[in-house]
Chain A
Amino acid sequence: MRILTGFLMLIGLLAVGLVFVGCPNYFISGTVVIVEEFTFTAEHGFYFYRVDITDEEDWDDYKDDIGLVDAVGVELFITSEEPGDVTFSAYVDDYSGPGPEPVSIPGTATMIIDSITISPGFTHLTYAQSLGFLTGVERLKDLVEEGQFDYYGESTGSDGETFIVDSAKVIMTLSGGAGS
């Protein structure tokens, strides 16, 4: 009888858990990391790229049930041949879609990198470092959830030819219910 009581309590506990959770994604969810690599279109200290991860396999698996953007960061490789320091800022905004590329940063954009100083030479800003200096993270997470957004860069004290963002990555960690 005691064994039966214990067994029933275990079943009851699981039932309470199921009711408490109330969501199938609780059981089949996962966390994936999507890395989007790109090279800026650069002109006279202005940089632009349309980020689109909607064709990523992981994105396709999770797109309908993204419950949380755990983290977003960037990685930048920069070469500066300027004689002095250059400041670099980055912004994100809603996806503008196909069409002519913008030539300036729209007023609706949100700053995510606020005037970091780049010394002459080669600079590698890592993903881990970016987690410490990114601003506007909530807007960035909202845009990542959309899967598409515009990414702008701006440098001051350079002409775009002697200060080059060699390559950049956006690293997105998403949690969601896969394939449900």
Chain B
Amino acid sequence: MKKVILVILLLAFLSPMAGAEGVKLGAGVFGGLNIPIVQQDQGSGTAFGVRGKLHFSSFFGAEPNIVFGKWGDPGEVDGFELGISGSSVTSFGVDLVLGGMPGTVGFKPFVFAGLGMYSIKNDDTDYDESKFGFDGGLGVAIGLSPIIDIETRGTLFLAGMEGGLSKKAVMITAGINYYFGSDY
């Protein structure tokens, strides 16, 4: 239920901008792998989410996003079976994007970087931390039509934690984007 409310809030935030001159508005859904980096107590898991797409030009835009992730069970560490579950990772943030060229057909690479609030929680260990972090990466979109892209991207994120440290992971996701309006 909480996830549904968050998605509705995101869409509500984006909808007033749909009519703004020069702003191309879209939305996308995505899912894929969520691979922790240098975290022996976590295994590979999954991530899915939604993002808004506000392109101020063909080459520059912003993407507010919500991601729901779950790392996998760690399994054995040095021959010892921990027997606990992986942590959940929820984030809300905004990425700035260069490239992508919404409203065009064809092969469209892009890079991005952004900030977000990351919440990492593990019910077994009682680890529960919400702090700012940031992310970046690159991807490629393929415009199937002026209003529909499919895309894949790799995202490195660093979620802040106590002591000036971070928990890091790579997400490899695939998704589909839809651009509103008919002026493409």
Chain B proximity of A126: nearest CB distance (Å): 6
Known pairs A2-B59, A35-B80, A71-B41 / 4 extra A-B pairs, C-beta < 8 Å: A6-B59, A13-B96, A31-B39, A70-B127
- Which residues 14-67 in B have Cβ within 8 Å of A in the complex? 37-42, 56-57, 59-60
With a cutoff of 8 Å between Cβ atoms, the chain A residues found around residue B42 in the complex are: 31
With a cutoff of 8 Å between Cβ atoms, the chain A residues found around residue B37 in the complex are: 30
Chain A proximity of B76: nearest CB distance (Å): 10
Chain A proximity of B177: nearest CB distance (Å): 18
- Which residues 127-184 in B have Cβ within 8 Å of A in the complex? 127, 132, 134, 136, 158, 160-168
Known: A33-B77, A128-B82. A6 touches B127 (CB 8 A): no
A-B pair count, CB < 8 Å, reads 120
B10 touches A (CB below 8 Å): no
B59 touches A127 (CB 8 A): no
A32 touches B (CB below 8 Å): yes
B74: nearest chain-A partner, CB-CB: A33
B96 touches A22 (CB 8 A): no
B98 touches A131 (CB 8 A): no
Chain A proximity of B134: nearest CB distance (Å): 4
A2 touches B165 (CB 8 A): no
A133 touches B (CB below 8 Å): no
Known: A9-B96, A31-B40. A171 touches B82 (CB 8 A): yes
A3 touches B82 (CB 8 A): no
- Which residues 1-38 in A have Cβ within 8 Å of B in the complex? 2-3, 5-7, 9-10, 13-14, 16-17, 20-23, 25-27, 29-33, 35
A67 touches B161 (CB 8 A): yes
Taken residue by residue from 58 to 99, chain B's Cβ proximity to chain A (1 for < 8 Å, 0 otherwise) reads as: 011000000000000010011010111000000000001110
Known: A6-B59, A173-B125. A67 touches B83 (CB 8 A): no
A31 touches B124 (CB 8 A): no
A28: nearest chain-B partner, CB-CB: B38
Counting chain A CB atoms within 10 Å of each CB, the highest count among B80, B112, B115, B132 belongs to B80
With a cutoff of 8 Å between Cβ atoms, the chain B residues found around residue A13 in the complex are: 96, 113-115, 134
Chain B proximity of A5: nearest CB distance (Å): 7
B94: nearest chain-A partner, CB-CB: A13
Q: Report how many residues on chain A are interfacial, defined by Cβ distance under 8 Å.
A: 40
B162 touches A127 (CB 8 A): no
A-B pairs, 5 with minimum CB distance = A67-B163, A30-B38, A6-B60, A23-B164, A71-B125
B38 touches A3 (CB 8 A): no
Chain A proximity of B142: nearest CB distance (Å): 21
Interchain Cβ contacts under 8 Å between A and B, 19 examples? A3-B60, A6-B96, A7-B98, A13-B114, A25-B164, A25-B165, A31-B167, A33-B82, A67-B163, A67-B164, A68-B161, A70-B127, A127-B83, A128-B124, A131-B84, A131-B124, A131-B126, A175-B163, A175-B167
User: Which of A10, A68, A126 contacts B98 (CB under 8 A)?
Assistant: A10
A72: nearest chain-B partner, CB-CB: B125
B96 touches A126 (CB 8 A): no
With a cutoff of 8 Å between Cβ atoms, the chain B residues found around residue A7 in the complex are: 98
B158 touches A2 (CB 8 A): no
A5: nearest chain-B partner, CB-CB: B60
A173: nearest chain-B partner, CB-CB: B41
